[in-house]
A and B are shown apart, each in its own frame.
Chain A
Amino acid sequence: MTHKILVLNGPGLGDLSDYDGNTYRGLTLEKIRSECSRLCRDLGVELDFRQTEDQDEMFRWIAKESEGYDGVIINPVGYSRAASVSYALYRSAIQMIAMLKKPVVEVHISNIFSQSAEITQPLHEPVGDMGFVCGLGVQSYLLGIRAIAHRFGLDVTPQ
């Protein structure tokens, strides 16, 4: 049986042109998609890579559609911060995924903690089994995929 990984990208990630330009100049969602596809092909894992500009659609994907996959990568942009206005909705979506007991990794392109002097919190209280990677650009996604594939028992050593 082929393992399936769902990669979800939240609002704003469709256009990275003015996103953290200094560090990740030239990075596009298409480039992230193609690198994720290549890695998944090498690992023999099926990939479903999505992005939405609609927060409700993102929450629905997390809560309802994760069920059909063996592991999930989420770039929730600002929603995972406890201070976010939609945090409660995000949190309840994450609780649904936690009940499924699947490996989940939250990823961010940049180091979300370096932007401000204030030390922020991505998640407030314990929710399920969730890894976290930020600051590695496209590698944040690739590391997340490799970590999940490792949990499937696959050899994820780079070739």
Chain B
Amino acid sequence: MTRTIYFINGPNLNLLGTREPEIYGSSTLKDIEKRCKAIGKKLGLNVVFFQSNHEGAIIDHLHEAIDTAQGVVINAAAYTHTSVAIHDALRAFKGYKIELHISNPHLRESFRHVSFVSPVVDAVVAGLGIHGYELVLDVMAGELK
């Protein structure tokens, strides 16, 4: 059975490649999605990408994931540090969950040091650049065998 993985991307990640490339790199989210879909195909995973700047839309997608996905990779971006609602929605998803960040939030401003996402996921991967998206896909393939 093909396993479905949701990559849920939060606010401002639509600007990837143009916003502060020295921190986030020059690839766009579309580039990353294309690479992940190709890798997912080889691994037998159905990769679904979603990005929104709206907290409620992210929560709606997490709810959708409950019925349709076996794994969720969440880069909640700035909502990581503020959203109790995303925390609760993640709690409701019982599949395998990875929190992903392109940069390492713990090494940045102190207002990024708290994550409401970390306590309700299986694993946290941060600061490995956009390559992190590909690396967690391999992990998902292993976990969802």
Write the residues of chain A forming the contact surface with B, with a CB cutoff of 8 angstroms. Answer: 105, 111, 113-114, 117, 119, 121-136, 139-140, 143, 146-147, 150, 157-158
Return chain B residues, CB-CB under 8 Å to A146: 135
**Looking at the complex, which one of B39, B107, B123, B139 makes contact with A123 (CB distance below 8 Å)?**
B107
Q: Is the CB of A111 within 8 A of B127?
A: no
Besides A134-B124, A136-B123, A147-B135, 13 new A-B residue pairs in contact (Cβ under 8 A), listed by A number: A111-B118, A113-B118, A114-B118, A119-B114, A125-B107, A128-B107, A130-B107, A132-B125, A133-B128, A135-B121, A136-B125, A139-B139, A143-B135
Return chain A residues, CB-CB under 8 Å to B120: 114
Closest partner residue, chain A, to B136 (CB atom): A143
Q: Is the CB of A119 within 8 A of B115?
A: yes
Return chain A residues, CB-CB under 8 Å to B113: 121, 124
Return chain A residues, CB-CB under 8 Å to B123: 111, 133-136, 140
**Looking at the complex, which one of B110, B119, B128, B132 makes contact with A113 (CB distance below 8 Å)?**
B119
B20 CB–A CB distance under 8 Å: no
Q: 13 A-B pairs, CB-CB below 8 angstroms?
A: A113-B118, A113-B119, A119-B114, A119-B119, A126-B108, A130-B127, A133-B128, A134-B123, A135-B124, A136-B125, A136-B139, A140-B123, A157-B39
Return chain B residues, CB-CB under 8 Å to A126: 107-108
Closest partner residue, chain B, to A137 (CB atom): B123
Total inter-chain residue pairs, C-beta < 8 Å: 81
B131 CB–A CB distance under 8 Å: yes
Closest 6 CB pairs of A and B: A135-B123, A113-B118, A131-B127, A147-B128, A132-B126, A123-B106
Return chain B residues, CB-CB under 8 Å to A123: 106-107
Return chain A residues, CB-CB under 8 Å to B131: 147, 150
Return chain B residues, CB-CB under 8 Å to A157: 39
User: Per DSSP, are chain B's interface residues mostly helix, strand or loop, or mixed?
Assistant: mixed
Q: Is the CB of B124 within 8 A of A133?
A: yes
- Supposing A119-B118, A124-B113 touch, asked if A132 and B124 sit within 8 A by C-beta, the answer is yes
1/0 per residue B124-144: CB within 8 Å of A?
Answer: 111111011001001100100
- Supposing A119-B118, A131-B104, A132-B104 touch, asked if A113 and B135 sit within 8 A by C-beta, the answer is no
Q: Is the CB of B119 within 8 A of A114?
A: yes
1/0 per residue B29-40: CB within 8 Å of A?
Answer: 000000000010
